[in-house]
């Protein structure tokens, strides 16, 4: 697809995206950055983790999104007694014609296009491991057989702050499978007043369907058509390398406070999300600012603090923000190889 075609498709997508935001806005008040982040995950094929205290509308947002996108929706309520089979499904013995018995796989709630993993950090590590294959490879292996998940597939998870009772820290391998980690804060005074009006009055707004799964897949393919110049791609690579302590490009706070940095999935998240930002802006190529704008939600959960960082009260956001400030867009005097 040539640049003119991409720009024409981008204009069409922005119209559809604006309509989508309008319908979501009927049910969700405020939280514009969170809504934009979740939609970035949907249209790039990534999973999103929403962190915030209970009652802020995280679950309501995801359910609304499944309605306006007309996607098959499934909700899994994570609890300490939840087992892997409760998520993936299980193989049972069924009796067929003539009394013949055979094994049959009964699909679990993971077999949906949009999966809400509600309060995901209240389940045990054993249960968390059941999500890894589904989130990365979009398939489930059970009873020696592999089952493909429906497309488009997306896991949108909510979690409570780890300081709350009854929570387990998510394994690093699972955190790395989230494109974005989004922090959901409290609503403002005006937003709370609007929420009260909408939820306690006579008329309750009902969002309408805007897209379907087929259209979502078409836009996902368009996102991947956008071009990333070598120097912009190198900038994204160096941002991730700057999260590695004692590495060649490590930033100052990284060496002091970070135990482990981002993996190659971090670079993939930066590039895909930056492509989506460019598409929303009507451009067919990615800029440095596109990468910077998505760096915080894409990297905050991939920076693991060491003991000194935790003792000093440093947050991963502070480390990522310092990296964004320190890493230059280009290195003077260095020539990049054409790829």
Angle between helices 32-44 and 213-225 (to 10 degrees): 90
Main-chain phi, psi angles of 248, to 5 degrees: -60, -35
Closest CA to 153 of 66, 64, 89: 66
The span from the CA of 133 to the CA of 293, in Å, is 29
**CATH assignment of 226-328, among 1.10.8.80, 3.40.640.10, 3.30.200.20, 1.10.10.10:** 1.10.8.80
Cα 231 versus chain centre, distance:
26
pLDDT at 36: 93
Distances 122 to 47, 59, 112, 173, 254 between C-alpha atoms, Å: 18, 15, 21, 17, 30
pLDDT at 339: 37
184's tokens:
């959901």
160's tokens:
């409570």
The span from the CA of 306 to the CA of 252, in Å, is 14
The span from the CA of 58 to the CA of 43, in Å, is 19
Listed by start position, the domains of the chain span 226-328
Q: Contact at 8 Å (CB) between 1 and 223?
A: no
DSSP labels, 117-173: EETGGGS-HHHHGGGHHHHHHSEEEETTEEEEPPSS-EEEEEE--TTSTT--PPPHH
The two beta strands, 139-142 and 145-148, are antiparallel
Spatial neighbors of 261 by CB under 8 A, at least 6 apart, are 240, 241, 242, 243, 244, 245, 247, 254, 302, 303, 304
pLDDT at 279: 92
Closest CA to 195 of 25, 53, 17, 38: 25
The span from the CA of 142 to the CA of 217, in Å, is 27
151's tokens:
């497309």
Residue with tokens 């930066």: 270
pLDDT per residue rounded down to tens, the chain (339 residues): 677 777 788 889 999 999 999 999 888 888 889 999 999 999 999 999 999 887 788 888 888 999 999 999 999 999 888 988 899 888 787 777 777 777 778 888 999 999 999 988 888 888 888 888 889 899 988 777 888 999 999 999 998 876 666 677 888 888 999 999 999 988 888 988 988 888 887 777 788 899 998 999 999 999 998 989 999 999 999 999 999 998 888 888 999 999 999 999 999 999 999 999 999 988 888 999 999 999 999 999 999 999 998 899 899 999 999 999 999 988 765 655 443
What is the reported pTM? Answer: 0.89
> What is the helix (H) or strand (E) element at residue 180, kind and residue range?
strand 178-183
Spatial neighbors of 334 by CB under 8 A, at least 6 apart, are none
Cα 180 versus chain centre, distance:
4
The span from the CA of 240 to the CA of 295, in Å, is 9
The span from the CA of 25 to the CA of 195, in Å, is 11
By three-state DSSP, how is residue 67 classified?
Answer: helix
């Amino acid at each position: 697809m040539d640049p003119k075609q991409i720009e024409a498709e981008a204009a069409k997508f922005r119209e559809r995206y604006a309509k989508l935001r309008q319908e979501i806005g009927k049910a969700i008040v405020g939280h514009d950055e969170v809504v934009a982040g979740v939609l970035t995950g949907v249209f790039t094929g990534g999973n999103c983790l929403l962190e915030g205290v209970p009652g802020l509308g995280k679950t309501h947002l995801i359910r609304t999104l499944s309605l306006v996108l007309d996607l098959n929706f499934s909700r899994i309520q994570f609890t300490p007694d939840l087992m892997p089979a409760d998520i993936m499904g299980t193989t049972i013995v069924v009796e067929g014609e003539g009394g013949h018995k055979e094994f049959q796989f009964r699909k679990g709630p993971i077999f949906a296009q949009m999966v809400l993993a509600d309060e995901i950090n209240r389940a045990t590590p054993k249960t968390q491991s059941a999500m890894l294959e589904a989130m990365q490879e979009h398939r489930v292996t059970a009873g020696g057989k592999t089952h493909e998940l429906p497309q488009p597939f997306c896991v949108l998870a909510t979690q409570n702050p780890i300081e709350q009772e009854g929570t387990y820290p998510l394994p690093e391998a699972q955190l790395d499978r989230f494109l974005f980690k989004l922090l959901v804060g409290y609503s403002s005074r005006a937003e709370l007043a609007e929420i009260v009006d909408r939820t306690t009055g006579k008329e309750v707004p009902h969002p309408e369907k805007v897209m379907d799964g087929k259209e979502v897949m078409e836009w996902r393919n368009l996102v991947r058509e956008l071009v990333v110049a070598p120097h912009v791609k190198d900038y994204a690579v160096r941002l991730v390398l700057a999260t590695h302590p004692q590495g060649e490009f490590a930033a100052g706070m990284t060496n002091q406070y970070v135990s482990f940095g981002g993996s190659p999935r971090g670079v993939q998240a930066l590039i895909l999300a930056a492509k989506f930002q460019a598409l929303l802006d009507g451009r067919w190529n990615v800029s440095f600012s596109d990468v910077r704008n998505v760096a915080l939600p894409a990297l905050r959960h991939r920076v693991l603090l060491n003991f000194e960082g935790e003792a000093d009260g440093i947050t991963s956001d502070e480390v990522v923000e310092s990296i964004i400030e320190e890493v230059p867009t280009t290195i003077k005097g260095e020539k990049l190889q054409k790829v």
